[in-house]
């Protein structure tokens, strides 16, 4: 599988997001870069939402379903906007007639960030067919296959892969649905589609959203825009950390959309630089179109938006309090703010995972945690020096300027910093769980939030510093004596230098760490090279529709995702039925006509994969039914590669594998 096929798959996903999300952004009136950056958020909402609607109305999951629902929603939005504009004596705002001219620096900066991040992510993955050798990826890869098999990508149905009885009523599946569409559109394998998705999320959606948020808060300045694009490539904590830890694909997707939602939130509350020709009421519609996609990607990302939007709500409440002096108005403002706080607390309680999943301990002292935030050295240890200076400059300038936008940017930074310090160091367990339980009390999830606010604050710091330096007499004289072409070349040189300067040791370390987890080697913890070679031949021996038994902990369950053959346990966290327990416990002793063979018939299982005792977490889970298969006459060896073996079940007669 070549890199061309991976990037072709990524291009098809971008086209799908452009057609779905871009058409909705256009329908509500967004144009230019705002429409481009917002399109993925609308697109993910359409993908995740269509999956649920399709299940309700009986449509099979496909690109056609997504396009049909998008057409209906787009027509409704366009009709609403057309009717709204017809009621006005003039265009909604004169700004529609005087849109900003084409911004070549925005284009160049965005393309540069996309290329740098694409190369970084491709380098981290290693090969197009590599996949994360981690526990969570067992579910993610197999869930994509489950969607393709069932024609159902609903977040209300995907849990049936591991809980056929329906005990898992909701699991956010927008990421899995999007990956399944990549497979349908391009025909690539599931691992290649996953890597294509990772590149789109980390190299396209993320930097465009970060630049959008920065420009919404602080304007369209050239230095500001270029700095935001550069800084979007500077932090190993996002998007690389969530490929290194977990792997947390859905959360990474959700977080990449959060800056878009924050930009819309800022416009709803009248903060920052207003987009010409687009009122806050239409931005409210943009926000409402973005949040479902975030929630269906990962509820933890929705809580991230909720937390980071707190400074915006406070700034809006203060502005309204100052603008309305009557007692009645202020009572209403105070009541609305109190209702918001109560709603936020309820959201933190409702959206957090079960208690048994929130048991991650603290790891640092408070001073050490604060230092990791200030030095941007969390998780990987190495500090990103240029990014540190940019963020510190942003903090200083925000305190000097004290404008609503600068204080909001600083406030978002403080929220993310406080949450990080809380999760890694706060000794008060109840308070810690109340504040960070929605993120599993898990350090990497909160560390990954930091770049979402650091890019904007850092870009602001760079832009304000550059403006201050430009007022120095000697700098003014040099600038005045330099021809326009020279200033362009100098600006380009500084931008390239900045992009190179931020690609430091921390990013290199993160890339190396991800590469080690994705590589398929003789010692890979989930599927080693021998096991992978055998999985690539499974479809030659196992008929379609015949299930394969085996321990899910040693990677054999990935026969479902990689070989397109059903397995009895597509994940480690399974609902164990009576029949499944009989096979797991007694297959090696199965007898014709016995209970085990009856279970074999019911489950339609005909083969067993034996990948030995090495498990992905280094633990040991016993499945007596699969022990000593090499000396058992209940099975027949069909294929082997190194220590990996595929057996056919012969104890129950020939019907078992038909």
Q: Give percent of the chain with pLDDT exceeding 70.
A: 93
Average confidence (pLDDT) over 31-59: 94
Average confidence (pLDDT) over 352-377: 89
Average confidence (pLDDT) over 483-505: 69
pLDDT-based confidence at residue 656 (cuts at 50, 70, 90):
very low
Reply yes or no on whether the pLDDT at 92 is more than 50: no
Q: What is the pLDDT of residues 95-147, one digit of tens each?
A: 444 455 778 889 999 999 999 999 999 999 999 999 999 999 999 999 999 99
Residue boundaries of the structural domains of the chain: 3-308+352-512, 529-657
Reply yes or no on whether the pLDDT at 339 is more than 60: yes
Q: What DSSP designation does 362 have?
A: P
Q: Contact at 8 Å (CB) between 482 and 493?
A: no
Q: What is the pLDDT of residues 507-537, one digit of tens each?
A: 888 999 999 999 999 999 999 999 999 999 9
Burial of 1 (0-12, 13-18, 19+ CB in 10 A): middle
Q: What is the pLDDT of residues 401-441, one digit of tens each?
A: 999 999 999 999 999 999 999 999 998 888 999 999 999 99
Q: Contact at 8 Å (CB) between 387 and 235?
A: yes
Choice among 95-104, 285-294, 408-417, 492-501 with the minimum mean pLDDT: 95-104
Per-residue model confidence (pLDDT) at position 490: 66
Cα–Cα distances in Å, from 395 out to 371, 385, 402? 15, 15, 10
Average confidence (pLDDT) over 500-509: 78
Give the pairing of strands 605-610 and 644-649: antiparallel
Reply yes or no on whether the pLDDT at 471 is more than 60: yes
Reply yes or no on whether the pLDDT at 281 is more than 90: no
Q: What is the pLDDT of residues 571-584, one digit of tens each?
A: 998 888 999 999 99
Choice among 2-16, 73-87, 593-607 with the minimum mean pLDDT: 73-87
Choice among 252-261, 292-301, 467-476 with the minimum mean pLDDT: 467-476
Q: Give percent of the chain with pLDDT exceeding 90.
A: 69
Mutual orientation of helices 190-200 and 135-150 as an angle, nearest 10°? Answer: 110
* Cβ neighbours of residue 152 closer than 8 Å, sequence gap 6 or more: 51, 54, 55, 60, 61, 158
Per-residue model confidence (pLDDT) at position 488: 67
Reply yes or no on whether the pLDDT at 89 is more than 80: no
> What is the distance of C-alpha 103 from the center of its chain?
29
Q: How many CB atoms lie within 10 A of CB 32?
A: 14
CA–CA gap between residue 266 and residue 290 (Å, rounded): 14
Q: What DSSP designation does 270 have?
A: T
Per-residue model confidence (pLDDT) at position 95: 42
Reply yes or no on whether the pLDDT at 654 is more than 70: no
Reply yes or no on whether the pLDDT at 93 is more than 50: no
Average confidence (pLDDT) over 31-60: 94
């Amino acid at each position: 599988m070549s890199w061309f096929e991976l990037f072709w798959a990524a291009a098809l996903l971008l086209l799908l997001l452009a057609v779905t999300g871009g058409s909705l952004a256009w329908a509500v009136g967004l144009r230019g870069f705002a429409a481009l950056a917002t399109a993925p958020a609308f697109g993910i909402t359409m993908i995740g939402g269509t999956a649920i609607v399709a299940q309700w109305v009986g449509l099979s999951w496909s690109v056609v379903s997504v396009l049909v629902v998008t057409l209906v929603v787009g027509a409704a939005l366009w009709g609403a906007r057309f009717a709204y504009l017809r009621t006005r004596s003039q265009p909604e705002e004169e700004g529609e007639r005087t849109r900003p001219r084409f911004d070549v620096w925005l284009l160049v900066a965005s393309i540069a960030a996309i290329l740098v991040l694409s190369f970084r992510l491709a380098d981290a993955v290693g090969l197009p067919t590599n996949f994360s050798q981690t526990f969570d990826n067992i579910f993610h890869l197999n869930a994509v296959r489950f969607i393709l098999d069932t024609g159902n990508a609903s977040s209300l149905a995907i849990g049936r892969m591991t809980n056929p009885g329906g005990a898992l009523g909701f699991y956010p599946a927008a990421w899995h649905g999007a990956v399944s569409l990549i497979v349908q559109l391009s025909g690539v394998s599931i691992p290649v589609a996953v890597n294509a998705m990772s590149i789109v999320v980390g190299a396209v959606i993320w930097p465009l959203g970060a630049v959008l948020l920065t420009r919404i808060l602080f304007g369209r300045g050239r230095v500001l825009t270029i700095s935001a694009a550069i800084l979007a490539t500077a932090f190993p904590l996002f998007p690389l950390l969530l490929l290194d830890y977990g792997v947390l694909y859905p959360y990474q997707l959700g977080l990449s959309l959060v800056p878009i939602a924050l930009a819309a939130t800022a416009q709803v509350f009248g903060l920052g630089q207003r987009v010409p020709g687009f009122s806050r009421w239409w931005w409210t519609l943009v926000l409402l179109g973005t949040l479902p996609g975030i929630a269906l990607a990962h509820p933890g990302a929705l809580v991230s938006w909720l937390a980071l939007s707190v400074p915006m709500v406070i700034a809006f409440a203060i502005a309204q309090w100052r603008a309305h002096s009557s007692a009645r108005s202020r009572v209403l403002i105070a009541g609305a703010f109190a209702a918001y706080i109560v709603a936020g607390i309820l959201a933190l309680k409702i959206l957090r995972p079960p208690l048994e999943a929130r048991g991650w301990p603290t790891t640092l002292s408070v001073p050490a945690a604060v230092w990791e935030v200030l030095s941007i050295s969390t998780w990987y240890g190495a500090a990103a020096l240029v990014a540190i200076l940019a963020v510190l400059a942003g903090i200083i300038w925000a305190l000097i300027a004290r404008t609503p936008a600068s204080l909001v940017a600083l406030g978002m930074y403080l929220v993310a910093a406080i949450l990080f310090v809380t999760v890694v160091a706060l000794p008060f367990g109840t308070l810690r769980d109340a504040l960070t339980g929605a993120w599993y009390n898990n350090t990497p999830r909160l560390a990954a939030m930091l770049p979402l606010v650091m890019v904007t604050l850092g870009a602001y710091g760079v832009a304000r510093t550059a403006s201050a330096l430009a007022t120095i007499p000697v700098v003014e004289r040099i600038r005045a004596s330099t021809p326009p072409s020279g200033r362009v070349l100098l600006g380009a040189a500084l931008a390239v230098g900045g992009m190179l300067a931020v690609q430091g040791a921390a990013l290199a370390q993160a890339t190396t760490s991800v590469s080690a987890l994705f590589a398929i080697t003789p010692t890979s913890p989930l599927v080693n090279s021998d096991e992978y070679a055998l999985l690539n031949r499974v479809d030659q021996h196992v008929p379609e529709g015949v299930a394969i038994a085996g321990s899910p902990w040693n990677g054999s369950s990935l026969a479902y995702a990689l070989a397109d053959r059903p397995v009895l346990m597509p994940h480690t966290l399974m609902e164990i039925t009576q029949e499944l327990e009989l096979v797991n416990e007694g297959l090696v002793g199965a007898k014709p006509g016995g209970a085990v063979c009856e279970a074999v018939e019911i489950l339609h299982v005909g083969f067993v994969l034996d990948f030995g005792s090495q498990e992905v977490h280094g633990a040991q889970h016993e499945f007596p039914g699969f022990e000593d298969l090499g000396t058992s006459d209940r099975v027949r060896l069909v294929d082997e590669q190194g220590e990996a073996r595929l057996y056919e079940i012969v104890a129950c007669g020939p019907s078992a594998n038909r």
